[in-house]
Structure formats: C-alpha cells, structure tokens
Structure 1
Amino acid sequence: MEASNMINLLDHLNEIHKKLITLGQQKTEAINKGDMQKLNSLLKEEDGETKELQNIEVERQQHFAGQTVSDIAEKASGSERERLSSLQHELSQNYQSLKEVNELNQQLLQQSLQFVNMSLSTLLPEKEPVTYTKPQGKRYGSAGASLFDSKA
C-alpha cells in the first residue's frame, strides 16, 4: 500500500518536472526572441506548476513523514521496488535537467539586463557627483586675513 502511494506521488512529480522543463525551454526561446508577453504567460503557467509541486510535498509529508523512497522500497515487493528505483532515478535526471535549463535562463536574463544597463548609460548624460565638493567661488577677506577680529 505504501509503495503504490509513493509510486503515484513520484509519477506525479515526474510529470510536473517534465512540464517545468518544457516551460523552461520555451522561456529560453522567449528570452532569445525578446517576447515579453510570451515570457509573462510562461511565468504564470510555471507558477501554477510550482504550486502543484508544493501540494505534492505536503501530501508526501502527511503520508510518509520521515520515510525516504529507499525505506519504502525495502518493504516493497520486487516489481514495486524496481518501479520505485526507476522513478527515483528518472526524477533525479528530470531535476538535473530542470536545474540546467533554469541556470541557462538566469544567465540569459542577466546578459539582457547588462545590455539594457549599458545602453541606458550611453544614452543618458553623466550626472554630477553625489558627494559634497568644495565650491570654487570667492573667498572671505584677503589671503592672510582671518574671519574674526582678534583685537576686540
């Protein structure tokens, strides 16, 4: 019973990770094309999938508190043990692929932001310094005179 529930959870996790990988690849294309509307819609879709992942994690914690896939596989029959092992391996690969796609998208966004900042800095004039500078205006009195009359 535990093994079949865990198999269902892992199947669902794998499905969501595959969807997230596809969304990540679509985001890469949208970033490369500069299609911000497409990117926004993909981010909203990705947010929904992320919330689903959170729901699955809550369910996993409720049903399998403190147990790992390996713990459940030890108690499972031969076919369930093999299925759990293959699902665990597949989930690990999907997670790694998702991580790589997200890192690529992050790098592309950082490069785009650097380009925008560079473009803005060439278009906008340089502002005066923010720090205080001594005014070069006229000085008080002559070069040797003091502001205060010491004879008084």
Structure 2
Amino acid sequence: MSIEKILQSLTKLDMLHKSLLEIAYKKTEVIKTGDMDSLNQLLKDEQAHVAGISQLEQQRQTEVTDYLRAKGIAPTDNPTVALVLENTNTNEEKEQLGAARNKLLLTIETLKYQNDLNQKLTLQSLQFVNLTLDTLRPKPDQINYSKSEVQAPSTTNNYFDSQA
C-alpha cells in the first residue's frame, strides 16, 4: 500500500488550515475595527472550516490505520503520520510524507499564533468596554444624599475679596 491517500489528506488538511488562517487574519482586522456583523459572518465561516477539518482528520486517521494494518503493524488509538514515517520503507515516501507533515504543522503553528493574537485583542476590547462602563456607572458608595453631608454655603468663610 502506498502513502498517496495519506499525502492527499495532508494536502487537503493544509489547504483548509490555510483557508482558516486567512479567516483568522480577516478576523484580526474586524476585531480592530469593531465590526460585529462581519465578525459574526467570519465566525460562521470558521465553524464550517472546523467541521471540514474534523471530517478530513477522521479520514486521515482511517487512512493511516489502513496503511499500518497493511504493513502488519497494530495501530494505536490515535494513529499519527509520525508512526507512518517510522514504518515507511522508501526514502522517497519518507521525504514526501515528511515534507507534507512539516508544511501542515507550520500552517497549524501560524494559525495558533494568529488565534492567540485574536484572543488577546478580544480580551483587550472587552477590558476597554468594561473600563468605559465602569467610568460611566456611578459607584454605590459615591452616592450619598444624607443631610449631614449637605451643607449650606457659609457666608463667614468668604475668600472673595471684593476690594481687589
């Protein structure tokens, strides 16, 4: 059995992750501008991509399991491409599979970084909104309408010099 199906799955996964990365870049700009309608649409697109990635990941795991079984190796609960790399005989297949795997891992790492940035920007925006609300909202201990603290203006302590 060859690794072609696994390579195709890795290539499709990389394409979907790159598309998801583009959405993450757009999301960064939308968060900066505060356009909630665009952000909602991007979140829907992101969810569709994640669902597609999940399906492709299941397909990849099935293909890796089939490949390992064909080689006479009992697959684990989470069959990985690294396990296939260890059990591939030809150098050409190892190079192709390693390159596809590294390319996907790089894309995923970039996506993680961008999502982390988006999370920090969102948190910062929420903190700004909360700060703004806190400054506009009076604190309960600042409002005190008791008579003992309300004083009439005193005429004896007049600091205004009328002759000046």
Provide the TM-score with structure 1 as the length reference: 0.77
Q: Which residue of 1 aligns with 2:50?
A: 50
Distance in 1 between the 2:63 and 2:140 partners? Answer: 61
Q: Which residue of 2 aligns with 1:80?
A: 93
Aligned residues: 128
Contact kept? 1:3, 1:76, Cα under 8 Å: no
Contact kept? 2:13, 2:57, Cα under 8 Å: no
Q: Which residue of 1 aligns with 2:64?
A: 64
Higher relative contact order (CA 8 A, sep 6+): 1
Contact kept? 1:24, 1:102, Cα under 8 Å: yes
Q: Give the C-alpha shift of residue 81 in structure 1.
A: 2.3
SS at match of 1:75: coil
SS at match of 2:139: coil
Distance in 2 between the 1:2 and 1:71 partners? Answer: 15
Q: Give the C-alpha shift of residue 83 in structure 1.
A: 1.4
- Name stretches of at least 5 consecutive residues in structure 1 with no aligned partner: 129-152
For the pair 1:35 / 2:35, whether they are aligned, the reply is: yes
Contact kept? 2:64, 2:81, Cα under 8 Å: no
Distance in 2 between the 1:2 and 1:92 partners? Answer: 22
Q: Which residue of 1 aligns with 2:3?
A: 3
Q: Which residue of 1 aligns with 2:17?
A: 17
Q: Give the C-alpha shift of residue 34 in structure 1.
A: 0.9
Distance in 2 between the 1:12 and 1:30 partners? Answer: 27
2:130 to 100, 117, 124: 117
- Name stretches of at least 5 consecutive residues in structure 2 with no aligned partner: 66-75, 142-164
Distance in 1 between the 2:122 and 2:83 partners? Answer: 41
Query: RMSD across aligned C-alpha pairs, in angstroms?
Result: 1.6
Q: Deviations over 1:119-142 (max 9, x none)?
A: 1111112236xxxxxxxxxxxxxx
Distance in 2 between the 1:63 and 1:96 partners? Answer: 23
Provide the TM-score with structure 2 as the length reference: 0.72
Contact kept? 1:25, 1:101, Cα under 8 Å: yes
Contact kept? 1:7, 1:87, Cα under 8 Å: yes
Q: Which segment drifts farther, 60-69 or 22-31?
A: 60-69
Distance in 2 between the 1:36 and 1:28 partners? Answer: 12
Q: Give the C-alpha shift of residue 92 in structure 1.
A: 1.1
